[in-house]
A and B are shown apart, each in its own frame.
Chain A
Amino acid sequence: MSIELRQVSKRFGSVSAVEDVSLTVADGELVALLGPSGGGKTTVLRMIAGLEVPTSGDLLVRGERVNDVPVQKRNIGFVFQSYALFKTMSVFDNIAFGLKIRKTPPAEIQTRVDELLKLFGLDGLGRRLPHQLSGGQRQRVAIARALAPRPSVLLLDEPFGAVDAKIRQELREWLVRLHRELHVTTIFVTHDQEEAMEVSNRIVIFSRGRLEQIGTPREVYEQPKNEFVARFIGVLNVLELTILNGAARLHELSFPAHGLPEGQTLRIGFRPYAVQISRNLQEHPYLAVIRHVYFLGVQLRLELETPSGLILRTRIVKDEFLRQGLEQGSSVSFQIREYRVLSTGANSLSPEVATVHSAANFAEGI
């Protein structure tokens, strides 16, 4: 089952919520729609569900245009951010709702709901009312309710938004397992890049109603198409350089001029892992002091300050940090092993497709 959006736009009055979005979701995929709030991702989800009608463009399911198919006939499962459980119905009746609408025989409803209750670890809770459940249980009921009529696609709007941090982690893992078991095409909306990276097969990144990039978590992290994506996914150091004496410079740092004329400006970005540091002050070309150390578990994030006052962020494994005998305030030498050009001079407002400049492609988790 594939879902396709062809140049879909949506306007609310004079406000443009989604602009010219085209994307395809293949059968059995687990896709994240990621972006800052107000980016249009929820509107895209609602259009796929049929809760909003595109202002222009086509929405296709299995190659058929479904723009005019009402929400009731689309056979989608939708999980709302607030879960929208029916307060006056028991857990059982909530899950059975879609089956009852479809006039499923009672015996079949019983079997299906029992099966789902078991699958979702909700055994024995069938007669409870929604307000008697915990946040995590409510969410599972909401997903079970959406899945009960065997929808062709499961849509989730900020599925982990309403639960606290600890449960959120469990739920993420649970959703991945669930998807592996049921293999139903799943699209979810999130503003949390970490969540998108961890859960999905592919990420669709939105900003201000536009689609910025589609790709696997690794692709969007390692090959961000533009500065927005690069900055939104993970941490990015950004420098604005000027071409001077045949090199792109900012204070003591210098980079190749990339054939740009004198006086031209250039923005580059690089991930923290691209900054390599050493206790040996002769080992790398530049000098800096460790201003701040943030403990993130096995990894540490360091804030470096160069003599001219530039602040750069880098990461280092804890063992390496200790082996080198580093601490806050230590002087180090560093180099930038890889970076990408985000934009040049005149068109700095519309980031062009960046190209990677590095000797070796370096892989690392986030």
Chain B
Amino acid sequence: MGYSIAYLSLVVLIPLAGLLIRVSAMSWADFVRVAFSDRALAAYRLTFGASFIAAAINAVLGTLLAWVLTRYRFPGRKILDALVDFPFALPTAVAGLTLANLFSQTGWLGQFLVPLGIHLAYTTGGIVLALTFVSLPFVVRTLQPVLEEFEVELEEAAATLGAGRWCTFRRVVFPALLPALMTGFALAFARAVGEYGSVLFISSNKPYVSEITPQVIMGWLDQFEYANAMAVAVVMLSASFAILITINVLERWASRFQR
């Protein structure tokens, strides 16, 4: 007990408190000037916008993947299941590097996509791509256990009452999955918002255009403007906590229907 508290304090609490104290030493005007500068605002918009799109893509495809993995038996299912964790296991730098290469003009996919006018490497589209990649497992892994434990009788009951497959999914299965889906979405979103490594490789990193929030922080750090970096970091931290609280609320909501 004592050990874990001490360890936590040493590794987490004290540094975190240090950050907050440092920021509180800034004047409010200075804080606002830095944390809500045009450059920072552009970065927030991009970070949260791209993360939202990435999480939304994962919500759709993740639901489909979770459904296929739990409901169907087909050759290669276990490999597919194992591969879903690949983005967790692969360092983000490698992910960014290979994705950027894949979608560049000479890359395996880019050579077909670029002539069609689809530029994914070094664009905001690429950022969405990278964020989708790194946050892919969350929706699948939160939905899978829920789908596995889903009572088949509920679907049968809907069928005996005349509901077709799509209708059953929409009215019976989907509402039951919704809390878990939203939790998965929030987790994916949180992960995407904080992501740095992979984006660095695939983005053109232009301020105001294709710069995400962690890059703004890095930018200030490179200029040894620690206070400014911290101001932006505090905004990100607040966002992280907001998401964390949302996830907790969602999980409580999800347990509402149990028993």
User: A255: CB under 8 A from chain B?
Assistant: no
Bound complex: CA of A126 vs CA of B163, how far in Å? 22
How many residues belonging to A are interface residues under a CB distance threshold of 8 Å? 28
Per-residue contact bits, chain A 270-310, to B (CB 8 Å; 1 contact, 0 not): 00000000000000000000000000000000000000000
Q: A86-102 toward B: CB 8 Å interface, digit per residue (1/0)?
A: 11110000000110011
Taking a contact as CB atoms closer than 8 A, the residue among B154, B167, B175, B257 that contacts A101 in the complex is B167
Q: Give A contacts to B, CB under 8 Å.
A: 49-51, 71-78, 80-82, 84, 86-89, 97-98, 101-102, 129, 131, 145-146, 149
Query: Could you say which of B161, B164, B257 contacts A88, with CB atoms under 8 Å apart?
Result: B257
Chain B's nearest CB lies how many Å from the CB of A141? Answer: 12
Set of chain A residues within 8 Å of B238, measured between Cβ atoms: none
Which of B154, B160, B259 has the most C-beta atoms of chain A within 10 angstroms of its own C-beta? B160
Would A76 and B163 count as touching, CB distance under 8 A?
no
The distance in angstroms between the C-alpha atoms of A51 and B159, with both chains bound, is 9
Contacts A101-B167, A131-B258; A80 near B161 (Cβ below 8 A): no
Q: Is the CB of A84 within 8 A of B259?
A: no
For the complex, what is the distance from the CA of A89 to the CA of B257, rounded to whole Å? 10
Q: A82-B151, A88-B175, A88-B176 are in contact. Are A97 and B158 (CB under 8 A)?
A: yes
Interface contact A101-B161, CB-CB below 8 Å:
yes
Contacts of A78 in B (CB 8 A): 156-157, 160
Q: CB-CB < 8 A to A84: which residues of B?
A: 151, 153-154, 156-157
Asked whether B162 is an interface residue with its Cβ less than 8 Å from the other chain, the reply is yes
Given contacts A72-B163, A77-B160, contact A86 B151 (CB under 8 A): no
B156 touches A86 (CB 8 A): no
Q: 30 A-B pairs, CB-CB below 8 angstroms? A: A51-B159, A51-B160, A71-B159, A72-B160, A72-B162, A72-B163, A73-B162, A80-B157, A81-B153, A82-B151, A84-B151, A84-B154, A84-B157, A86-B154, A86-B157, A86-B172, A86-B175, A87-B176, A87-B258, A88-B178, A97-B158, A97-B161, A98-B161, A101-B162, A101-B163, A131-B257, A131-B258, A146-B160, A146-B161, A149-B161
Interface size on B, residues (CB 8 A): 21
Interface residues of B in 21-62 (CB under 8 A from A): none
Q: Please judge, given known A-B contacts A80-B156, A82-B153, A88-B257, whether A97 and B163 are in contact too, CB under 8 Å.
A: yes
* B258 CB to nearest chain A CB (Å): 7
CA distance A249 to B167 in the complex (A): 68
Residue of A nearest to B164 (CB): A72
Q: How far is the CA of A187 from the CA of B22 in the complex (A)?
A: 75
Residue of A whose beta carbon sits closest to that of B152: A84
Set of chain A residues within 8 Å of B162, measured between Cβ atoms = 72-73, 75, 98, 101-102, 149
- Chain A residues whose C-beta falls within 8 Å of the C-beta of B154 in the assembled complex: 84, 86
Q: Assess whether B156 is in contact with A51, with CB atoms less than 8 Å apart.
A: yes
Q: A76 to B161, alpha carbons, bound, how many Å?
A: 8
Q: Report chain A residues within 8 Å CB of B259.
A: 131
| Closest Cβ–Cβ distance, residue A364 to chain B (whole Å) | 40
Contacts of B258 in A (CB 8 A): 87, 131
Mark out the residues of chain B between 236 and 259 whose CB falls within 8 Å of any chain A CB in the assembled complex: 257-259
The answer for the CA separation of A131 and B256 in the assembled complex, in Å, is 9
By a CB distance below 8 angstroms, the chain A residues around B167 are 101
Interface membership of B71, Cβ < 8 A? no
B77 in the interface (beta carbon within 8 A): no
Tell me the complex Cα distance, A50–B176, Å: 25
The 4 closest A-B pairs by CB, nearest first: A98-B161, A84-B153, A78-B160, A84-B157
A146 to B157, CA, bound (A): 9
Is residue B206 contacting chain A, with contact meaning CB distance below 8 A? Answer: no
Q: A50 to B158, alpha carbons, bound, how many Å?
A: 13
Q: Are B159 and A72 in contact (CB under 8 A)?
A: yes
Quick one: closest B residue to A142, CB to CB? B157
User: Which residues from B are CB-within-8-Å of A146?
Assistant: 160-161
A72 cross-chain contacts in B, Cβ below 8 A: 159-160, 162-164
Q: Which of B165-179 contact A (CB under 8 A)?
A: 167, 171-172, 175-176, 178
Known: A84-B151, A84-B153, A129-B257. A71 touches B176 (CB 8 A): no
Say how far B149's CB is from chain A's closest CB, in angstroms: 12
Within residues 205 to 238 of chain B, which ones have a CB less than 8 A from any CB in chain A? none
- Most A-side CB within 10 Å, residue of B162, B257, B259: B162
Bound-state CA distance A87–B159 (Å) is 16
Q: Which residues of A contact B157 (CB under 8 A)?
A: 78, 80, 84, 86, 145
Produce 1/0 per residue, B131-166, CB < 8 A to A. 000000000000000000001011011111111100
Give A49 to B162 CA distance when docked, in angstroms: 11
Measured CA separation A273–B74 after assembly (Å): 60
